[in-house]
Amino acid sequence: MRRAFFAFAFAAAALAAAPAAEARGFGRFGNEDNFNKIQDLVIPAELAGEVPPEWSQGVELDSHTVTHWLGGGAWLEDKGYAITVRGGEKYWDLDEKLTGALQEANILPKPLPKYEIPVIDYVFGYSLWIIIAVLALWYGAAAMLKRKKPETVQAP
């Protein structure tokens, strides 16, 4: 019972320490798309009919990662660049063909700007392994420091 309490307290402390915007929580399962803005994109008026109609709402160039959840973040996958609709959930991953066409139309910069995945994405993306390591250290240290009971000697 005591061990379960410490595991629960650790998970609660980890969630409480995260800023509200980053508090993604534990106990999730499945995949989560994450986008980090690189820059806004401008669609020239003469090309408005050749791009998806959603792009008229405003689009931006983002980096795209996917967090794979198994209770905690099991791993983080870098998907590269994506174009996202501002304020929406639609996105288009950029492949070489689409990137080349958008660069020729002067919608995307040439070369594409470099990006880095934020550290907080790595922390949540690999949080399952961090939790396992902390619990292993906790219980390993507790087992090593636990006092052994003196052996009782039977009277003859």
Distance of CA 133 to the CA centre of its chain: 19
Place of tokens 């994109």: 41
Q: How far apart are CA 36 and CA 10, in angstroms?
A: 29
Confidence of residue 24 (pLDDT cuts 50, 70, 90): low
Q: Sign of dihedral through CA atoms 53, 59, 65, 70?
A: negative
User: What is the residue-averaged pLDDT of the chain?
Assistant: 85
Range 17-24, long-range pairs (CB < 8 A, 24+ positions): 22/120, 22/124, 24/124
Nearest to 79 by CA among 121, 39, 41: 121
Q: What is the pLDDT of residues 38-53, one digit of tens each?
A: 999 999 888 888 889 8
Per the CB < 8 A criterion, the answer to whether 60 and 90 are in contact is: no
pLDDT for 83: 96
What's the pLDDT band for 155 if we cut at 50, 70, 90?
Answer: confident
List, for residues 59-116, the tens digit of each pLDDT value: 999 999 999 999 899 999 999 999 999 988 899 999 999 999 999 999 999 999 999 9
Cα 74 from Cα 129, distance rounded (Å): 7
Percentage of the chain exceeding pLDDT 90: 58
CA of residue 110 relative to chain centroid, distance = 28
pTM for this predicted structure: 0.71
The alpha carbons of the chain give a radius of gyration, in whole angstroms, of: 24
Is the per-residue pLDDT at 12 higher than 80?
A: no
Q: How far is CA 57 from CA 4, 35, 109, in A?
A: 49, 18, 20
